[in-house]
């Protein structure tokens, strides 16, 4: 058995693994990454963030073509199949793999393709896809093995019409009717994608409100627009049985309802990828969701073993995973790059897009903070009218006495970009973080960013 010696060995090449690998390597450590998929990039690139965002982009282009009167000169509205839009996602994935692979090569990071497990706390064994066993020794190990869809035992995922968010990328046809079970971020994003392709979607929610962590007004707006696009949202429902039939699925709900569709997409929960790691060999135990507990330095209970990304649970976002991985490596190399990632913006790529940072109205009211609201509706803004993107709103919540910005909530075109302007201002020290910035600063015109100026004036006008 071949043995290789490293300073830091990283398990997984998603955003958490990549952030960790780059930081450790730039600090002069000898680094190896073990990846059990056949290409680099992690679940993020191959199954999660990238394919879903590329699919959504194509769907939005189709919607634009079908609704913009300009395009009627060149043809009638057209519908595209799911496999058609999947092809464009595959092109993006290939480009991402190429760029990410080059980062590792440029930073002289060794890659081992195979499944990693612990022999002891300084030894990782890699069982490669062609059956070869290799052994890597490491002073430190960072676990960045991500997560996968949770699969309850009573749902038959071998049935050809029952999918989860990984296997949906193998869907070879466009269903006429689709049941999406689970109305979290992934479920609502896929509801937007499929309804944009003209599929009738039943979105089954265990709760009484969509994405209840959002500002109520934004959550209501999302429900309105999903319904407008033919998504039937069914709140407070739980499955009793998922029955796979020939060419379809019948969902039996505990409430007594039965729903029939051509396909069923399970989007209810995820589990950490820890089962193949042989954690027992290092005295570590994952929780019931397969997640590993870490401290604010991303260190596990075993002093030289760290963990980052989806495998540690919240927030389970690629955005945070990269910073967590980078921070885990920062804590190993003891430079100033370790920070505990707890202030994460929300970016939800539904149609319309949603993004927010800071507190929402419910939280501020509960905390009895005297806040005021400033709003800008996209329908009145020049850039939105030019782009034909008039659905949306920016809402700034600010302290009515100090004018400090307490929260920024946005839905509509470019929401996930727009929110970063608010985030940057909220992070300014002292009086830099007030509404005054937006009224005393000249913005490019016409832009979507101008919404901040409009919302700031609207908010100031409410003060007395
Ligand atoms: C449909 C969907 C849409 C999403 N959209 C967004 C979004 O828009 N924005 C956002 O920020 N986040 C989004 N996410 C979440 C995001 O994809 C994850 O948070 C992110 O991928 C986590 O990164 P990671 O590095 O922890 O793990 P991953 O990206 O999952 O990478 C982990 C890698 O480790 C490998 N691995 C597992 N076990 C082993 C082992 N024993 N040995 C070697 N390798 C192993 C896995 O195969 C995988 O390649 C989405 C997720 C899904 C499912």
Inter-residue contact 272 to 310 (CB < 8 Å): yes
Tokens of 234: 């069914």
C-beta 175 within 6 A of ligand 1: no
Q: Which atom of ligand 1 is nearest to the CA of 322?
A: 25
Can you tell me the distance from the alpha carbon of 63 to that of 225, in angstroms, rounded to the nearest whole number?
A: 14
Token pair 């509404």: residue? 435
> Computed over its alpha carbons, how large is the radius of gyration of the chain?
24
Contact 159, 167 (CB under 8 A): no
Please report the atom of ligand 1 found closest to the CA of residue 349: 8
Q: In the chain, count H helices and then E strands.
A: 12, 21
**Cβ of residue 62 lying under 6 Å from some atom of ligand 1:** no
Q: Compute the distance between CA of residue 187 and CA of residue 197 in angstroms, rounded to an integer.
A: 15
pLDDT value at position 430? 85
Retrieve residue 184's tokens.
């979290």
CA pair distance 99, 41, nearest whole angstrom? 10
Kindly state the DSSP code that residue 403 receives in the 8-state scheme: -
Which residue's CA is the closest to the ligand 1 atom numbered 49? Answer: 42
Q: Which helix (H) or strand (E) holds 373?
A: strand 371-377
The reply to whether ligand 1 has any atom less than 6 angstroms from the CB of 14 is yes
Q: How many CB atoms lie within 10 A of CB 207?
A: 12
Q: Is the CB of 37 under 6 A from ligand 1?
A: yes
Q: What pTM value is reported for the model?
A: 0.96
Domains of the chain: 2-149+271-333 (3.50.50.60), 162-268 (3.50.50.60), 352-460 (3.30.390.30)
Determine whether the annotation assigns residue 185 to a binding site: yes
Give the distance (Å) from ligand 1 centre to CA of residue 312: 12
Q: Is 403 in the pocket of ligand 1 (CB under 6 A)?
A: no
Q: What is the pLDDT along the chain (464 residues), one digit of tens a residue?
A: 789 999 999 999 999 999 999 999 999 999 999 999 999 999 999 999 999 999 999 999 999 999 999 999 999 999 899 999 999 899 999 999 999 999 999 999 999 999 999 999 999 999 998 889 999 999 999 999 999 999 999 999 999 999 999 999 999 999 999 999 999 999 999 999 999 999 999 999 999 999 999 999 999 999 999 999 999 999 999 999 999 999 999 999 999 999 999 999 999 999 999 999 999 999 999 999 999 999 999 999 999 999 999 999 999 999 999 999 999 999 999 988 999 999 999 999 999 999 999 999 999 999 999 999 999 999 999 999 999 999 999 999 999 999 999 999 999 999 999 999 999 999 999 889 999 999 999 999 999 999 999 999 999 999 99
Q: What is the pLDDT of residue 79?
A: 86
Answer whether 186 contacts ligand 1 (Cβ < 6 A): yes
The CB of 276 under 6 Å from ligand 1? The reply is yes
Query: Which are the contacts of 62, defined by CB distance < 8 A and separation ≥ 6?
Result: 78, 79, 80, 85, 196, 197
Distances (CA, A) of 14 to 142, 144, 311, 364, 393: 12, 7, 11, 36, 33
**Residue 382, CA distances (Å) to 145, 365, 377, 379, 458 in order:** 45, 33, 11, 8, 17
**How is residue 171 written in tokens?**
């869907």
Q: Is 380 annotated as a binding residue?
A: no
42 a known binding residue?
yes
Residue 44 annotated in ligand binding: yes
Cα first-last separation, the chain? 77
Does 310 show up as a binding residue in the annotation? yes
Tokens representing residue 251 in the block: 């969902």
At residue 1, the pLDDT reads 79
- Separation CA 341–CA 325 (nearest Å): 10
What is the predicted pLDDT for the residue at 249?
Answer: 98
Query: Could you give the angle at the alpha carbon of 389 between the alpha carbons of 383 and 394, nearest 5°?
Result: 75
pLDDT of residue 269: 95
Contact between 309 and 1 under an 8 Å Cβ cutoff? The reply is no
141 lines ligand 1 (CB under 6 A): no
Residue 161 CA, ligand 1 centroid: distance in Å: 24
Distance CA 407, CA 346 (A): 12
CB contact at 8 A, 144 and 231: no
- Nearest atom in ligand 1 to the alpha carbon of residue 146 is 27
User: Rounded CA gap, 398 and 434, in Å?
Assistant: 8
């Amino acid at each position: 058995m071949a043995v290789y010696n490293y300073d830091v060995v990283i398990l997984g090449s998603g955003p958490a693994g990549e952030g960790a690998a780059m930081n450790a390597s730039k600090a002069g450590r000898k680094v190896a990454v073990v990846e059990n998929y056949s290409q680099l990039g992690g679940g993020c690139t191959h199954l999660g963030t990238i394919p879903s965002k590329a699919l959504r982009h194509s769907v939005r282009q189709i919607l634009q073509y079908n609704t913009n009167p300009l395009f009627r000169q060149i043809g009638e509205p057209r519908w595209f199949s799911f496999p058609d839009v999947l092809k464009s996602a595959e092109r993006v994935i290939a480009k991402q793999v190429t760029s990410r692979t080059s980062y590792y090569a440029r930073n002289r990071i060794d890659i081992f393709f195979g499944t990693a497990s612990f022999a002891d706390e300084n030894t990782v064994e890699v069982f490669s896809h062609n059956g070869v066993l290799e052994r890597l020794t490491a002073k430190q190990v960072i676990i960045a093995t991500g997560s996968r869809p949770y699969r309850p035992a009573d749902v038959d995922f071998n049935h050809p019409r029952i999918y989860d968010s990984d296997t949906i990328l193998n869907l070879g046809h466009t269903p006429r009717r689709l049941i999406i079970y689970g109305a979290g971020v992934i479920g609502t994003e896929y509801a937007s994608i499929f309804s944009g392709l003209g599929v009738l979607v039943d979105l089954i929610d265990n709760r009484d409100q969509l994405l209840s962590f959002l500002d109520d007004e934004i959550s209501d707006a999302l429900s309105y627009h999903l319904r407008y696009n033919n998504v039937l949202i069914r709140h407070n429902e739980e499955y009793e049985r998922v029955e796979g039939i020939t060419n379809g699925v019948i969902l039996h709900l505990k409430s007594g309802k039965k729903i029939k569709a051509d396909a069923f997409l399970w989007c209810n929960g995820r589990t950490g990828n820890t089962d193949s790691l042989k954690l027992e060999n290092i005295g570590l135990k994952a929780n019931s969701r397969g997640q590993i507990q870490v401290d604010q330095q991303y260190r596990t209970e075993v002093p030289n073993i760290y963990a980052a990304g989806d495998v540690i649970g919240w927030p389970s976002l690629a955005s945070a995973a990269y910073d967590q991985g980078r921070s885990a490596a920062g804590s190993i190399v003891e430079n100033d790059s370790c920070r505990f990632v707890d202030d994460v913006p929300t970016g939800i790529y539904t149609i319309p897009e949603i993004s927010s940072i800071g507190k929402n109205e419910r939280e501020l009211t509960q905390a009895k903070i005297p806040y005021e609201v400033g709003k800008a509706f996209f329908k009145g803004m020049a850039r939105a009218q030019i782009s034909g993107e008039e659905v949306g709103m920016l809402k700034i919540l600010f302290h009515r006495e100090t004018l400090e910005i307490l929260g920024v909530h946005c839905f509509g075109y470019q929401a996930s970009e727009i929110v970063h302007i608010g985030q940057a201002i909220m992070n300014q020290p002292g009086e830099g973080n007030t509404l005054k910035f937006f009224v005393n600063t000249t913005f490019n015109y016409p832009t979507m960013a101008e919404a901040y100026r409009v919302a700031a004036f609207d908010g100031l006008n409410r003060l007395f």
